[in-house]
Amino acid sequence: MQKANAFVLFFCFLTLNLQAESKGTDTRTFRISKNLSIFNSVFRELDAFYVDTLNYDKMTATAINEMVSRLDPYTVYIPEKETDNLKFMTTGEYGGIGALITKSGKDLYISEPYEGMPAQRNDVRAGDILLEINKKSTANLTVSQVSNLLKGTPNTLVKLKLKRVGITKIIEKEFLREKIQVNPVVYTALVADKVGYVQLSDFTDKSATEMKTAINNLVKNQHIESLVIDIRNNGGGLIDEAVKILGFFVPKGSDVVQTKGKSEFTNRTYKTPTEPVFTDLRIAVLVNRSSASASEIVAGAMQDLDRGIIIGEKTFGKGLVQNIRPIGYGGNLKVTTAKYYIPSGRCIQAIDYAHRNEDGSVGRVPDSLTTEFKTLHGRTVRDGGGIIPDSLTADNRKLNIAYYIFAQNLYFEYANKFVATHPTIAKPSEFELSNEDFDDFVKFLTEKKFTYKSESEKMYAEFLDLARSEGIDKYAAEALKNLEIKIKPDVQRNILDNKADVSELLSLELMKRYYFQKGQVEFSLRKDNDLKLAIRNLTDQALYFKILNINK
């Protein structure tokens, strides 16, 4: 550990020196050589004289990871053993069984088999406990280790031993792994008269193709005139895919994003590569605080070019571009190389990682330092902190008991029990959790002796410690005691007070069991206020064009 800390300190020293260097190529080259020479000497001295045996790979990885962590969250070292994860990030492909894994207590569960993939086709179900994988026990393994055991070369055999609620006998499954391609288009539907809906989860290398297919089907089969593109919770991905998708809607050759960095190869202007195919569709893009990177390119370019209206929360504000650089021995460095700028000229990066505070923290760009820009039709937009929607909404849900039930995985556990006694339930468009089922869930929580400590309680405990240290507690004892009583959770009352939120989260878990991911989306859209607003703005053509400042 002492050696690892030495390496961490050295790499931080090296990073700070390289960041501070700006006196020309020759000086920079000398400083790099000097610091690498120091590092090499420290490594050799530790190897020769440190009292214990050194783990070279672990120590070097620790030092590298600490070094890059001082830059920004997106610059990361990817060792050879994690290259499969890198492939999945860029292509959405991996070799495996097509299921997500979770851990609850000591048990490792299948949390979600993907519809139509090997696990689901072979009747591996959400809630199944994984006991063995190819005769290897899962006891004491992590989720990551189990996931790695399930992954493998397509057409290789995987043997599972499972335990299922309601069945005493151990279940054995044997089938072949396959190439798993996760479709980035999660869900498509007709959500109103002539209004289509497409939800895109990420920007991998087939996103544009899948989007085009989905929209074409809606146009051909449903005769849509308007389209809702849902990129909420979409953290981004490949810039090229975002550019291709924009090319479906704006003229060929349109500048939709620029990247600017300190190296010549990072400076580039991205233009839409094809003639648009959906020129007449009215567009609404749904975003939230977790829409980032390539999602913000699509939303920002749509807004800057006045091609569609943006609805939802202010987006994340990630205006940084990463490239993958091979560094030898199978490893890669995902490194931030540039910032991106959307058509109006604005950069929406929200956090300034280059100028840290003395304590190492970083701050968001204050509103007073943002700059105004103009869209194609003269609307005012701003830089420095994400895309501000044309129709700004807010998620008013509070951190209540429904969240704490979720955090303890109790919706998941109850669903395991529920599925064992309910072969079917109503389809997502009709399902309503009955009062009897809700009461049964409350009984289940009671049997589990569910309780929780709220954030208010945690903060109260910290405040009380401070009050005691300052001697205030003896003067305000009664008031403090009354406050403690008021903030202490009353589980039964809080469950009933928040019945709607609890019922919704439980229903979503049940949708996943019977109708998979598509069922969850279909059910959640029934009460989606942002979608309802999008439909109103799209169907009222005068309002739609007024928002975009277009005279029609």
**Distances from the Cα of 47 to the Cαs of 7, 44, 205, 220, 347, in angstroms?**
12, 5, 44, 68, 47
**Residues whose CB is less than 8 angstroms from the CB of residue 430 and which lie 6 or more positions away in sequence, other chains included:** none
C-alpha to C-alpha distance for 151 and 367, rounded to whole angstroms: 46
DSSP state of 208: H
C-alpha to C-alpha distance for 93 and 113, rounded to whole angstroms: 15
- Report the DSSP beta bridge partners of residue 77: 333
C-alpha to C-alpha distance for 263 and 239, rounded to whole angstroms: 18
Spot the catalytic one: 72, 230, 304, 383: 304
DSSP state of 388: P
Which burial class, exposed, middle or buried, applies to 436 when counting CB atoms under 10 A from its CB (0-12, 13-18, 19+)? exposed
β-pairing, 129-133 with 136-137? Answer: antiparallel
C-alpha to C-alpha distance for 190 and 224, rounded to whole angstroms: 8
User: b vs e for 522-536, b when ≥16 Cβ sit within 10 Å of the residue's Cβ?
Assistant: bbbbeebebbebbbe
DSSP string, 21-65: --S-HHHHHHHHHHHHHHHHHHHHHHHHH-SS---HHHHHHHHHH
| Structure-token pair, residue 191 | 């959500």
- 144 as an active site residue: the answer is no
- In this structure, what are the phi and psi dihedrals at residue 77, rounded to the nearest 5 degrees? -90, 130
Spot the catalytic one: 212, 244, 314, 318: 318
Report helix, strand or coil for 269. Answer: strand
Spot the catalytic one: 207, 226, 293, 344: 293
| Structure-token pair, residue 130 | 């994984």
Spell out where 363-507 has E strands: 372-374, 380-382, 391-392
Are 379 and 545 within 8 A, CB to CB?
no
Report helix, strand or coil for 281. Answer: coil
C-alpha to C-alpha distance for 335 and 326, rounded to whole angstroms: 11
Are 273 and 244 within 8 A, CB to CB?
yes
- 304 as an active site residue: the answer is yes
C-alpha to C-alpha distance for 81 and 332, rounded to whole angstroms: 11
- 293 as an active site residue: the answer is yes
- In this structure, what are the phi and psi dihedrals at residue 109, rounded to the nearest 5 degrees? -115, 155
DSSP string, 100-142: EEEEETTEEEEEEEPTTSHHHHTT--TTPEEEEETTEE-TT--
Active site residues: 293, 304, 318
